[in-house]
């Protein structure tokens, strides 16, 4: 995605005498903007040359032409887009992750001596846009800096300049993985990676960034900067430079280079300050399908966000998305949101009234950013005025006497400064013109000097109409009329048949096909007055408009604040509405180690399946049941159940009510899930290797306040390795991490081992066996199961009958003869096969404990490095195979 120009010496520069000045000018600009695609204004087009032209032609599907040959007969490739459509093309380039510099003609070609002066007037990158057409939708558009420290955790800074929100902090874990995790909930569209000075001279963008942020523009950021002052909004309450200071500075410098006008208006928003957020890494966000479906090609895939979205404004939608990706880990903040949701819910039908008032409030924060960036159109300011007025009204009707503090402070934040509303009302007409050049930007009476020029122009225009009538009557030519064109200005037009009657004081100006055009002294005099009035009007209105916008600048932070409050109220109302409609309860969140869910439902599936969804309980606690191990056949509901738990925790800590009858959650500070392990298979890594890396990462990062959800641990490999690893993982979570965890496994062999753990429980899903097959009841019951009903699932999947029959026959044989088949199939002695399985499978104690079991039992995994563990594993497997072949170990 990143666009790096290769150092190249274009042909037209190899021979100075043949270099065309225009291309030299272009090259000079390119040299100053490395890594940018330079769009170079030439007349009515933005052009690119050389390699960039080929690239532009390819990416935008525009024609590749060539600029005239130089002395050697070389022709330079050239491709361009028309100026009037540049925004559309910019949108497409930005979406593809390019960084574009627009180089404009900064003097009028008419007055230029030689080459027109050109300068870069605008830099457009995916993370620094404010235009609606360039932003993907209402969701946040984050630009991030990730700064790797020489040692220990790195720091990051993130900004959405389209709303003015800035966040920063230090990563939880060390290294680039920690940074990737910290940035994941922001889903940045553009990331500058600032390596630590120790990374040498040619640092690379870390692979984890490419993996976790596909579609984001990635760039090696500048080295840590000392220089520029941080904007006042970042210096915050304490005035102390925070831990993320270096990242802040790099980010500020980048914003200054791309959107200099917007930098002063960014502000730290404390609602997600570090340490108060539930850590969700990129994989957990993906596996739980919080805001994006697992399958990125499925734009309609249901996510938690789509299932939970009852917002009515762009700001609300944005806030909801942000809250769900950034649940809180701060009890007070969670309870404050819950109180607000409850208070709103108590109003019953009245919340519909509030939502109606919200509807139609435009995206205030983004209009403010466009205002600050001078990319605002006059009608947007009228929308701002009307939206702010609505917000003010809503702030009034929001509050009832007993309201909790959060609603009170929101009502306050939602009230725009009265002076701002007054300014917008008195200045803007009801419906301003579509563009700034159209005139009529101000309400009559707002600016007397402008009104005067408008009156002058109007009077002169009236006079001209009178003149037309007079001349028509005097000459008797009924078709005589006054017209206007760019070259000749105003003229009388007389069609050919009436030419003889043309008055003597008319002077001929132009001949056209069927008519002659004339002027007269009187007409010229009126024209002069009209043009003069228009010129004054144009320059004075433009100057006044700029002054007006500059005055409004001071209120940009206030508008940002109102916009955020609107988004928050909308989100809280959405929570209240969903709670009501989807039979949710207010979860108790406290500091206990409990995780109790009664009658819990999967927020997304529950909605899709309705009555058919089977609710289930979850009961984890520190003492008797930290760990829950799920066994049972495919399709019985294990993955759904685990996701349901994860999603309920996310919702609860985002402040929402949850789909259940009763929920109590001891605050979770980190949620780690691995589901399916399908992510990277096909990218060259074996699935087992991927799984092991991921499990290793979780074991490293989880602590006793974490919730770990592992689906099908050890799946990616053959029975023995997988089983051993699954067991070791469970053991570690149980004994060392001591966190709450739910694990699903198809190794029913594990159940025996799990029984030995003091704080682990087992459960499986009930299955009803009928003559025509089995029915999954999706109802959780205690204890383990060793039935897998694989053949049944295969039938559901539509395998051919002969295959099913053969599978059925084999299964029966297996069930009656034990596991001898595996031994026989490999041509080994039947007895050995039986022994192998007995080690871990039999519910009776084996006659003599296998040496492998003894080894496993005595293994001190806490003091093994991953390498040693792997070596041990290989050794155990070798022994196992020897036993299988009938050789004594
Ligand atoms: P497993 O992980 O055990 O293979 P899944 O969780 O993938 O099973 O569930 C398989 C299917 O069963 C789901 O797609 C869903 O349609 C259905 N299902 C799962 N849990 C429930 C439930 N609690 N109520 C109703 N249907 C369910
Ligand atoms: Mg599953």
Q: Residue 638 C-alpha to ligand 2 middle, in angstroms? A: 5
Q: Are strands 190-194 and 616-620 parallel, antiparallel or unpaired?
A: unpaired
Per-residue pLDDT at 676: 63
**Can you read off the two tokens belonging to residue 409?**
């402070």
Question: What's the CA gap between 618 and 583, in Å, rounded?
Answer: 18
Q: Residue 779 C-alpha to ligand 1 middle, in angstroms? A: 10
* Confidence band for 773, pLDDT divided at 50, 70 and 90: confident
* Confidence band for 839, pLDDT divided at 50, 70 and 90: very low
Q: Is 609 in the pocket of ligand 1 (CB under 6 A)?
A: yes
Per-residue pLDDT at 436: 85
Whether the per-residue pLDDT at 678 is higher than 60: the answer is no
Question: What's the CA gap between 575 and 327, in Å, rounded?
Answer: 14
Question: What's the CA gap between 881 and 888, in Å, rounded?
Answer: 10
Q: Is 634 in the pocket of ligand 1 (CB under 6 A)?
A: yes
pLDDT above 70: percentage of residues in the chain: 86
* Confidence band for 221, pLDDT divided at 50, 70 and 90: confident
More confident of the two residues 295 and 90: 90
More confident of the two residues 879 and 381: 381
Q: Is 644 in the pocket of ligand 1 (CB under 6 A)?
A: no
**Can you read off the two tokens belonging to residue 719?**
């029975």
**Can you read off the two tokens belonging to residue 57?**
């032609």
State the CB neighbour count (10 A cutoff) for residue 639. 18
Whether the CB-CB separation of 883 and 889 falls below 8 Å is answered with yes
**Can you read off the two tokens belonging to residue 614?**
């089977």
Q: Residue 687 C-alpha to ligand 2 middle, in angstroms? A: 16
Whether the per-residue pLDDT at 413 is higher than 70: the answer is yes
**Can you read off the two tokens belonging to residue 175?**
């290294």
Sign of the CA dihedral 822, 825, 831, 832?
negative
Q: Are strands 706-711 and 670-674 parallel, antiparallel or unpaired?
A: parallel
- Residues in a beta bridge with 49: 78
Average pLDDT over residues 836-862: 56
Q: Residue 786 C-alpha to ligand 1 middle, in angstroms? A: 18
Per-residue pLDDT at 719: 61
Per-residue pLDDT at 872: 80
Helix or strand run (H / E) with residue 213? none
What radius of gyration, in Å, describes the C-alpha atoms of the chain? Answer: 36
Instruction: Looking at the CA of 645, name the nearest ligand.
Output: 1
The top-scoring range by mean pLDDT among 38-52, 624-638, 745-759, 857-871 is 38-52
Whether the per-residue pLDDT at 699 is higher than 50: the answer is yes
Q: Is 596 in the pocket of ligand 1 (CB under 6 A)?
A: no
Whether the CB-CB separation of 651 and 604 falls below 8 Å is answered with no
Average pLDDT over residues 699-714: 88
Q: Which residues of 331-362 are buried (b: 16+ CB within 10 A; e: fewer)?
A: eebbbbbbbbbbbbbeeeeebeebbebbeebb
Whether the CB-CB separation of 718 and 685 falls below 8 Å is answered with no
Whether the per-residue pLDDT at 623 is higher than 60: the answer is yes
Whether the CB-CB separation of 109 and 116 falls below 8 Å is answered with yes
Q: Residue 158 C-alpha to ligand 2 middle, in angstroms? A: 36
Whether the CB-CB separation of 237 and 23 falls below 8 Å is answered with no
266-290: per-residue pLDDT in tens? 988 864 444 578 999 888 999 999 9
Burial of 847 (0-12, 13-18, 19+ CB in 10 A): exposed
**Lowest-pLDDT range of 14-18, 137-141, 730-734:** 14-18
The top-scoring range by mean pLDDT among 237-241, 416-420, 834-838, 846-850 is 416-420
Q: Is 604 in the pocket of ligand 1 (CB under 6 A)?
A: no
Whether the per-residue pLDDT at 132 is higher than 70: the answer is yes
What letter does residue 163 receive in the DSSP assignment? Answer: T
Helix (H, G, I), strand (E, B) or coil at 348: coil
Helix (H, G, I), strand (E, B) or coil at 308: helix
Burial of 529 (0-12, 13-18, 19+ CB in 10 A): middle
Whether the per-residue pLDDT at 183 is higher than 70: the answer is yes
Per-residue pLDDT at 19: 46
Q: Is 636 in the pocket of ligand 1 (CB under 6 A)?
A: yes
**Mean residue pLDDT across the chain:** 85
Q: State the distance between the two ends of the chain, measured CA to CA, in whole angstroms.
A: 54
Entry field: residues in the chain: 889
Per-residue pLDDT at 833: 33
Whether the per-residue pLDDT at 822 is higher than 50: the answer is no
Pick from 277, 185, 268, 196: which is nearest to 233 by CA? 268
Q: Is 638 in the pocket of ligand 1 (CB under 6 A)?
A: yes
Whether the per-residue pLDDT at 103 is higher than 90: the answer is yes
Whether the CB-CB separation of 138 and 372 falls below 8 Å is answered with no
Question: What's the CA gap between 26 and 273, in Å, rounded?
Answer: 45
Instruction: Looking at the CA of 678, name the nearest ligand.
Output: 2
Per-residue pLDDT at 849: 63
CA distances from 414 to 64, 271, 576, 703 (A): 52, 16, 19, 39
Q: Is 639 in the pocket of ligand 1 (CB under 6 A)?
A: yes
Per-residue pLDDT at 2: 34
Whether the CB-CB separation of 354 and 411 falls below 8 Å is answered with no
More confident of the two residues 843 and 268: 268
403: Cβ contacts below 8 Å, ≥ 6 apart: 343, 411
Average pLDDT over residues 878-887: 74
Average pLDDT over residues 288-316: 89
Helix or strand run (H / E) with residue 626? none
* Confidence band for 34, pLDDT divided at 50, 70 and 90: confident
Residue with tokens 């600029």: 67
Residue with tokens 């985002």: 654
Q: Which residues of 718-747 are buried (b: 16+ CB within 10 A; e: fewer)?
A: eebbbbbbbbbbbbbbbeebbbbbbbbbbb
Mutual angle of helices 719-732 and 866-884, in 10-degree steps: 140
Average pLDDT over residues 107-134: 87
363-406: per-residue pLDDT in tens? 999 999 999 999 999 999 999 999 999 999 999 988 888 889 99
Per-residue pLDDT at 717: 60
Alpha helices, DSSP H, located in 313-432: 314-325, 331-345, 350-358, 364-372, 378-398, 405-413, 418-427
- Residues in a beta bridge with 491: 483
Mutual angle of helices 556-581 and 378-398, in 10-degree steps: 50
Q: Of all protein residues, whose CA lies closest to atom 18 belonging to ligand 1?
A: 637
Could you give the count of Cα atoms lying within 13 Å of 854 in the half-sphere of its Cβ?
7
3-12: per-residue pLDDT in tens? 333 333 333 3
Helix (H, G, I), strand (E, B) or coil at 633: coil
Q: Catalogue the long-range contacts made by 781-786 (C-beta closer than 8 Å, 24 or more residues apart).
A: 784/629, 784/631, 784/748, 784/751, 784/754, 785/631, 785/632, 785/633, 785/748, 786/631, 786/748, 786/751
Residues with CB under 5 A from ligand 2 (ion): 638-639
Whether the CB-CB separation of 626 and 620 falls below 8 Å is answered with yes
Q: Of all protein residues, whose CA lies closest to atom 19 belonging to ligand 1?
A: 637
595-618: per-residue pLDDT in tens? 999 999 999 999 889 899 999 999
Whether the CB-CB separation of 154 and 146 falls below 8 Å is answered with yes
837: Cβ contacts below 8 Å, ≥ 6 apart: 818, 819, 822
* Confidence band for 750, pLDDT divided at 50, 70 and 90: confident
220: Cβ contacts below 8 Å, ≥ 6 apart: 192, 193, 194, 195, 203, 204, 205
Q: Residue 459 C-alpha to ligand 2 middle, in angstroms? A: 79
Average pLDDT over residues 754-769: 90
Pick from 523, 398, 419, 514: which is nearest to 464 by CA? 523
Q: Residue 633 C-alpha to ligand 1 middle, in angstroms? A: 11
330-368: per-residue pLDDT in tens? 999 999 999 999 999 999 889 999 999 999 899 999 999
Pick from 139, 589, 597, 582: which is nearest to 323 by CA? 139
**Can you read off the two tokens belonging to residue 825?**
């199939």
Mutate to test the pocket of ligand 1, among 778, 781, 784 (most ligand atoms within 8 A of CB): 778
More confident of the two residues 98 and 846: 98
Mutate to test the pocket of ligand 1, among 287, 615, 638, 640 (most ligand atoms within 8 A of CB): 640
Whether the CB-CB separation of 441 and 432 falls below 8 Å is answered with yes
Cα–chain-centroid distance for residue 523? Answer: 61
**Can you read off the two tokens belonging to residue 771?**
């003559």
Residue with tokens 């009436």: 498
**Can you read off the two tokens belonging to residue 166?**
């800035």
* Confidence band for 878, pLDDT divided at 50, 70 and 90: confident
Helix or strand run (H / E) with residue 835? helix 830-841
Q: Is 613 in the pocket of ligand 1 (CB under 6 A)?
A: yes
Instruction: Looking at the CA of 634, name the nearest ligand.
Output: 1
Q: Residue 581 C-alpha to ligand 2 middle, in angstroms? A: 29
Question: What's the CA gap between 565 and 558, in Å, rounded?
Answer: 11
Q: Residue 788 C-alpha to ligand 1 middle, in angstroms? A: 15
Per-residue pLDDT at 14: 33
* Confidence band for 265, pLDDT divided at 50, 70 and 90: very high
Q: Residue 603 C-alpha to ligand 1 middle, in angstroms? A: 13
Q: Is 640 in the pocket of ligand 1 (CB under 6 A)?
A: yes
Cα–chain-centroid distance for residue 267? Answer: 20
Per-residue pLDDT at 55: 94
Q: Residue 777 C-alpha to ligand 1 middle, in angstroms? A: 9
Whether the per-residue pLDDT at 246 is higher than 80: the answer is yes
Q: Which residues of 82-92 are buried (b: 16+ CB within 10 A; e: fewer)?
A: ebeebeebbbe
**Can you read off the two tokens belonging to residue 775?**
């029915």
Whether the per-residue pLDDT at 218 is higher than 50: the answer is yes
444-461: per-residue pLDDT in tens? 999 999 999 999 999 999
Burial of 844 (0-12, 13-18, 19+ CB in 10 A): exposed
Q: Of all protein residues, whose CA lies closest to atom 5 belonging to ligand 1?
A: 637
State the closest ligand 1 atom to the C-alpha of 642, by its place in the atom list counted from 1. 6
Per-residue pLDDT at 297: 74
Question: What's the CA gap between 311 and 327, in Å, rounded?
Answer: 18
What letter does residue 575 receive in the DSSP assignment? Answer: H
Pick from 173, 167, 146, 374: which is nearest to 260 by CA? 374
Q: Residue 882 C-alpha to ligand 1 middle, in angstroms? A: 40
831, 832, 836, 841 alpha-carbon torsion, rounded to 10°: 0
**Lowest-pLDDT range of 35-39, 540-544, 685-689, 876-880:** 685-689
Average pLDDT over residues 237-265: 79
CA distances from 849 to 258, 330, 580, 807, 844 (A): 70, 50, 58, 33, 11
346: Cβ contacts below 8 Å, ≥ 6 apart: none
State the closest ligand 1 atom to the C-alpha of 612, by its place in the atom list counted from 1. 25
């Amino acid at each position: 995605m990143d666009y790096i120009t290769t150092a190249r010496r274009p042909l037209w520069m190899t021979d100075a005498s043949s270099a065309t000045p225009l291309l030299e000018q272009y090259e000079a600009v390119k040299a100053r903007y490395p890594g940018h695609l330079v769009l170079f204004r030439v007349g009515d087009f933005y052009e690119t040359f050389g390699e960039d032209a080929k690239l532009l032609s390819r990416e935008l599907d525009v024609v590749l032409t060539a600029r005239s040959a130089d002395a050697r007969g070389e022709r330079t490739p050239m491709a361009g887009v028309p100026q009037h459509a540049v925004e559309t093309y910019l949108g497409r380039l930005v979406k593809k992750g390019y960084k574009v510099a627009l180089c404009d003609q900064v003097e009028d070609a008419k007055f230029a001596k030689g080459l027109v002066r050109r300068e870069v007037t605008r830099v457009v990158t995916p993370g620094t846009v404010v235009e609606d057409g360039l932003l993907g939708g209402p969701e946040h558009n984050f630009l991030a800096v990730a700064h790797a420290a020489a040692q220990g955790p790195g720091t990051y800074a993130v900004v959405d300049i389209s709303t003015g929100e800035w966040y920063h902090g230090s990563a939880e874990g060390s290294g680039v993985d920690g940074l990737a995790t910290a940035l994941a909930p922001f889903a940045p569209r553009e990331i500058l990676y600032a390596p630590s000075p120790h990374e040498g001279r040619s640092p690379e963008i870390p692979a984890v960034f490419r993996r976790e942020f596909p579609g984001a523009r990635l760039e090696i950021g500048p080295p840590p900067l000392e220089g520029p002052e941080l904007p006042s909004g970042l210096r915050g309450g304490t005035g102390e430079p925070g831990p993320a200071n270096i990242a802040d500075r790099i980010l500020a410098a980048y914003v200054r280079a791309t959107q200099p006008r917007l930098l002063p208006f960014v502000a730290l928003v404390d609602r997600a300050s570090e340490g108060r957020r539930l850590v969700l890494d990129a994989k957990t966000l993906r596996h739980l399908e919080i805001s994006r479906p697992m399958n990125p090609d499925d734009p309609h895939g249901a996510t938690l966000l789509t299932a939970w979205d009852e917002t009515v404004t762009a700001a609300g939608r944005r806030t909801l998305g942000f809250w769900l990706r950034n649940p809180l880990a701060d009890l007070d903040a969670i309870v404050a949101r819950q109180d607000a949701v409850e208070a709103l819910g108590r109003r019953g039908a009245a919340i519909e009234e509030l939502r109606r008032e919200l509807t139609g409030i435009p995206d205030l924060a983004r209009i403010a950013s466009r205002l600050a960036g001078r990319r605002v159109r006059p009608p947007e300011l009228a929308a701002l005025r009307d939206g702010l007025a609505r917000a003010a009204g809503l702030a009034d009707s929001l509050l009832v006497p007993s309201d909790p503090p959060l609603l009170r402070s929101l009502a306050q934040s939602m009230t725009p400064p009265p002076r701002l509303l007054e300014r917008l009302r008195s200045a803007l007409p009801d419906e301003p013109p579509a563009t700034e050049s159209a005139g009529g930007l101000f309400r009559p009476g707002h600016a007397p000097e402008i009104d005067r020029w408008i009156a002058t122009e109007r009077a002169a225009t009236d006079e001209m109409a009178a003149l037309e009538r007079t001349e028509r009557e005097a000459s008797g030519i009924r078709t005589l009329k006054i017209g206007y064109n760019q070259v000749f200005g105003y003229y009388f037009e007389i069609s050919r048949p009436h030419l003889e009657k043309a008055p003597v004081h008319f002077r001929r100006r132009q001949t056209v096909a069927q008519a002659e055009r004339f002027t007269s002294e009187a007409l010229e005099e009126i024209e002069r007055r009209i043009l003069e009035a228009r010129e004054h009007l144009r320059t004075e209105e433009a100057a006044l408009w700029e002054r007006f916008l500059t005055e409004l600048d001071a209120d940009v932070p206030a508008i940002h604040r109102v916009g955020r409050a609107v988004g928050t109220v909308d989100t809280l109302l959405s929570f209240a509405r969903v709670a009501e409609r989807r039979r949710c309860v207010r979860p108790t969140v406290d500091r206990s180690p409990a995780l109790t869910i009664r009658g819990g439902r999967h927020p997304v599936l529950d909605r899709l399946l309705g009555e058919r969804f089977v609710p289930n309980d979850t009961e984890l606690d520190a003492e008797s049941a930290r760990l829950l191990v799920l066994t049972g056949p495919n399709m019985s509901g294990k993955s759904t159940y685990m996701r349901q738990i994860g999603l309920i925790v996310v919702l609860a800590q985002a402040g929402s009510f949850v789909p259940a009858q009763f929920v109590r959650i001891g605050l979770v500070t980190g949620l780690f899930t691995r589901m399916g392990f399908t992510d990277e298979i096909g990218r060259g890594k074996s699935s087992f290797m991927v799984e092991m890396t991921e499990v290793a990462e979780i074991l490293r990062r989880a602590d006793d306040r974490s919730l770990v959800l592992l689906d099908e641990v050890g799946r990616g490999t053959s029975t023995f390795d997988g089983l051993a690893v699954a067991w070791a993982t469970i053991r570690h979570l149980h004994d060392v991490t001591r966190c709450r965890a739910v694990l699903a496994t198809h190794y029913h062999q594990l159940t025996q081992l799990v029984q030995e753990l003091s704080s682990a429980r087992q459960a499986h899903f009930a299955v009803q066996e009928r003559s025509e097959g089995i029915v999954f009841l999706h109802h959780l019951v205690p204890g383990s199961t060793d039935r897998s009903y694989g053949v049944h699932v295969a039938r559901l999947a539509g395998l051919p009958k002969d295959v099913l029959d053969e599978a059925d026959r084999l299964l029966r044989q297996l069930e009656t003869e034990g596991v001898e088949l595996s031994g026989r199939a490999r041509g080994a002695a039947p007895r050995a096969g039986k022994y192998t399985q007995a080690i871990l499978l039999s519910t009776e104690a084996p006659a003599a404990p296998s040496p492998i079991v003894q080894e496993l039992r005595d293994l001190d995994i806490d003091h093994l490095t991953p390498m040693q563990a792997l070596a041990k594993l290989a050794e155990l497997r070798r022994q196992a195979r020897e036993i299988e072949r009938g050789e004594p170990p």
